[in-house]
Structure 1
């Protein structure tokens, strides 16, 4: 039996009020009881302003994440409930329109395919890949830019991207002519002519594939086998790519902001527990422009602060009331700067915050960068470092493994009290 669930939100607006700037949908499977499992659906969607968004969407059912004044507003809509083991479509067709764009996309279609049958390898239904993007990504027309999307999968599956195709993924499926897409979810922009400047609608689909042949069992007990060429989830990743007028220089750190330490690397994983606060410190520089703001996509109750030009902090405390436990939460951000009337963005960076006692998942490192896993923990002991180094190292290793790191890690306690971990 095929179960099709479609959430429809229809409110017609005039083309002059067009303001859709993209969305990312995701789902996470959690508790399993018999033939029923709990699934959390998260919808992040952008519009040209918070006021316009409130005018057509249900009042009070969404939470604001962040906004770039005068350009976009990002909000989140979350649902959770119990489902039988089955597979279905979940999403909506908007009665609104994309902002004006160069590739002629008008009506957005946002729908995800959920594989809700029980997997034989993990004994629960599949969770979709986790990713994030800002509603508007921008680059000067004369500068090279790669956008490496986060490709984290909670089940350790292989993740690929493609352009949307077909009526359930896009109404008009014309990809941006100025972007090239790799299957590994990297978008590449090369310097182009001023005639190509403007906004483009990007409509991608992210999919996950099992690493080996597995069995899928539905609520009736019927079982089928799928292999590594069969996608299990399809989620939309949609945003606006804006090609701005040429910059005086494309060197990172001059007009285009450049990230500095202690900004986490792209793809870093953080492990925390419910009711435990995470603090992400972000630092950037731009010598020929003025850094004005940090823009991010993440949990709606994340707090953003600035402590001077180019210094920012993101803080978040997950809670049971928001179903944050045993879930992976993507956080993506850019730093934005201005010079005269021009706006410049840094590269996109994304990290994953994993809440609760869930396994460590290795993710591919982007080119020329390292992967970082950050754990916040406290271990108290009356043992002296001088005489009990081995015992303390074992206690730290045991706690790291309990938090989800692989059992073959090597822990070394340094003389200054810091800890070095290798695998």
Structure 2
């Protein structure tokens, strides 16, 4: 082998080694005082978020100055994984490393971590350098040990090169200190290349990063930022050895060469922190021309004096993508819409109770695909059948009193292009248990028991479930002197249903209601207790939920008590009803299914109207999507036939049986019905079929004269395709292609999970499609 060949091989091996070592994407860190140990030492929890190309790596923090103590426990969990990193790049994984430290003294010390190498960066950052200042001294203003700011950012941010965008870093300080975000300036300690990349500006006072303009590149920018907090007034820090240290606030800002100044938009003093935001304001700029900072500048005035109480690293990767045809949100770039929480919104959570954050985005020229998140340990993300992303997290007792920022951005795709929405961050505040409640899940019901003494603002006469119209949904039925008690069927009382890859989740709530439903304001305490049951989609299918559905009894003012009956019949004479014990009913494709809805009431001169009927894999009106049979009183399916009757409270109709495609072959038919004063031309019943959704009659209903009831849901089923001979033998089937659809999984009757939600805070989908022609 020649010398040149050996040299080439050595070069290739060295290059391969460097490439494999390039695996760092960024990281953050904060700390929290957790009391004293039995031996008098101090307990501190360090939370480090580390992003690498593998979920097995994490930063190993080392003591640099002071008496740091040692790590007594460590737990590493995965927070999020990359989904849309370019194919030519390694994938990223963000983990959180939660370490418990035993610290001999509460005096300040410094931690550092440094190594090689960042992934390939366009701003020449190679080694990572992170430093933290920890000070657990007791503050003279709060009487408590000093706390570091809570900070967060997405590990990977991207934007098209032609779309300026603003990014608000998530910073919150429970002590009410002034928080500053600057670019690292101590080379080899805080940063490797200590200069803000060209095309960006940073307002340190508001912790706002602005992307303005630069070229697209397949390599990322590595951002090496530092977060510090400063006392707003002069304070003393006292230590266990009897010593003290004074901390001064930052001086009034002024113009400094190479920097611009701004109005701080971070936290407020602890007693006046805004409950719905970071306490922020739009930054103003103090430059000679009065203009925003130019690209590549930062607004931290280093000569403002004052020494920080804490110092934390904030490092992340930023990718500039090629030009997009339009920068308008909602076209290519996803636009965040309701129920997505606002930037900086504060979400209240309780120990051992799951908190939920719902995120939704829309885009007309790209397809919504995924969500990127950053948050505390054990946070999860899901996409439900309503195309909403659901972020869930359950605080543990050790989280009590803490504040955790949660950041997210939705990603969409169009061809090979990936687009990211704006980054939003919210703050989760963990409080003590507010409402004492127990939820018990069975195969077909949820039982909730709420201790009245714990229900703040309780007015028993003004509480109800989501839909109390059915008498079974009344909270008065089972409640006693000490507890509000309700047993709620999974398909009644306004129970909402959600579905993701693994679970079916049934939710309801107890909430305040006004005496007059037409009122649009209230002066009563607004209270809400959400609860849910979660069922895995594996295991044995419940029998109770597959049984013949009972009649629905409703009480309504002006109509008294009336009962709806929904049954299936064997032919168009509607005399031979199917035995309730024979459910689920089985049909051959092409058979006609005969159905009858009947309303009985002690009030004369009333008529029934069937507003809609739909098919769904679950006996729940809130499952989406469903297959429409009748809408707005009009037959939507082409095979629907109705039959005239002399009884105005009787509705008979039929349709052709349909085939089920997918894992399960059951379906329920649910209809929305209402009662009206017979013969009154001003009721919905008298209007019959209407092409658009009807709404104006409800607003015209007079309080003094009740002419029609509300809408009520009745359902029946399940139906099932009869398993017959092998279809390959050529049996002729008269299949209605409009009624062919895929159904989701039925929930399991084992492994049920219960919970209570106290604050508003890959999906298995149902699709409807025609079969190929050879199956007809």
Q: TM-score range by the shorter chain?
A: 0.7 to 0.9
Q: Deviations over 1:342-392 (max 9, x none)?
A: 11000011111111359xxxxxxxxxxxxxxxxxx9537355459xxxxxx
Counterpart secondary structure, 1:14: helix
Among candidates 29, 38, 45, match of residue 40 of structure 1 = 45
Distance in 2, Cα, partners of 1:219 & 1:100: 46
- Residue equivalent to 1:300: 377
Q: Given the superposition, is the C-alpha separation of residues 300 and 224 from structure 1 closer, same or farther in structure 2, using an over 3 Å criterion?
A: closer
In the TM superposition, what are the counterparts of 1:159-308 in structure 2 within 5 Å?
159-166=179-186, 167-183=188-204, 184-194=206-216, 198-229=219-250, 230-308=307-385
Q: Given the superposition, is the C-alpha separation of residues 205 and 414 from structure 1 closer, same or farther in structure 2, using an over 3 Å criterion?
A: same
- Residue equivalent to 2:754: none
Counterpart secondary structure, 1:16: helix
More divergent stretch after superposition (259-268 vs 124-133): 124-133
Counterpart secondary structure, 1:15: helix
- Residue equivalent to 2:173: 153
Aligned pair 1:97/2:117, yes or no? yes
Q: State the 1:326 CA deviation.
A: 2.0
Is the 1:140–1:246 contact (alpha carbons within 8 Å) kept by the matching residues of 2?
yes
Counterpart secondary structure, 1:113: strand
- Residue equivalent to 2:76: 62
Is the 2:457–2:525 contact (alpha carbons within 8 Å) kept by the matching residues of 1?
no
Among candidates 64, 67, 80, match of residue 100 of structure 2 = 80
Is the 2:215–2:320 contact (alpha carbons within 8 Å) kept by the matching residues of 1?
no
Counterpart secondary structure, 1:131: strand
Distance in 1, Cα, partners of 2:230 & 2:213: 34
Distance in 1, Cα, partners of 2:403 & 2:321: 34
Aligned pair 1:328/2:409, yes or no? no
Is the 1:291–1:309 contact (alpha carbons within 8 Å) kept by the matching residues of 2?
no
Using the size of structure 1 for normalisation, the TM-score is 0.78
Q: State the 1:417 CA deviation.
A: 7.1
Unaligned 5+ runs, structure 2: 1-15, 62-73, 86-90, 251-306, 434-453, 464-520, 529-776
Q: State the 1:333 CA deviation.
A: 0.5
- Residue equivalent to 2:415: 340
Q: State the 1:103 CA deviation.
A: 0.8
The structure with the larger Rg is 2
- Residue equivalent to 2:33: 29
Distance in 2, Cα, partners of 1:79 & 1:152: 21
Q: Given the superposition, is the C-alpha separation of residues 416 and 118 from structure 1 closer, same or farther in structure 2, using an over 3 Å criterion?
A: closer
Q: Given the superposition, is the C-alpha separation of residues 213 and 295 from structure 1 closer, same or farther in structure 2, using an over 3 Å criterion?
A: same
Is the 1:65–1:74 contact (alpha carbons within 8 Å) kept by the matching residues of 2?
yes
Which gives a bigger RCO, structure 1 or 2 (Cα 8 Å, sep 6+)?
A: 1
Q: State the 1:414 CA deviation.
A: 1.6
Is the 2:330–2:362 contact (alpha carbons within 8 Å) kept by the matching residues of 1?
yes
Counterpart secondary structure, 2:126: coil
Q: State the 1:146 CA deviation.
A: 0.6
The count of corresponding residues between Structure 1 and Structure 2 is 358
Counterpart secondary structure, 1:108: strand
Aligned pair 1:133/2:153, yes or no? yes
Is the 2:458–2:525 contact (alpha carbons within 8 Å) kept by the matching residues of 1?
no
Distance in 2, Cα, partners of 1:224 & 1:417: 47
- Residue equivalent to 1:414: 522
Q: Given the superposition, is the C-alpha separation of residues 190 and 136 from structure 1 closer, same or farther in structure 2, using an over 3 Å criterion?
A: same
Among candidates 125, 133, 136, match of residue 113 of structure 1 = 133
Is the 1:285–1:310 contact (alpha carbons within 8 Å) kept by the matching residues of 2?
no
Distance in 2, Cα, partners of 1:379 & 1:337: 42
Is the 1:104–1:174 contact (alpha carbons within 8 Å) kept by the matching residues of 2?
no
CA RMSD between the two structures: 2.9
Using the size of structure 2 for normalisation, the TM-score is 0.44
Distance in 2, Cα, partners of 1:340 & 1:416: 53
Q: State the 1:252 CA deviation.
A: 0.5
- Residue equivalent to 1:394: none
- Residue equivalent to 1:381: 458
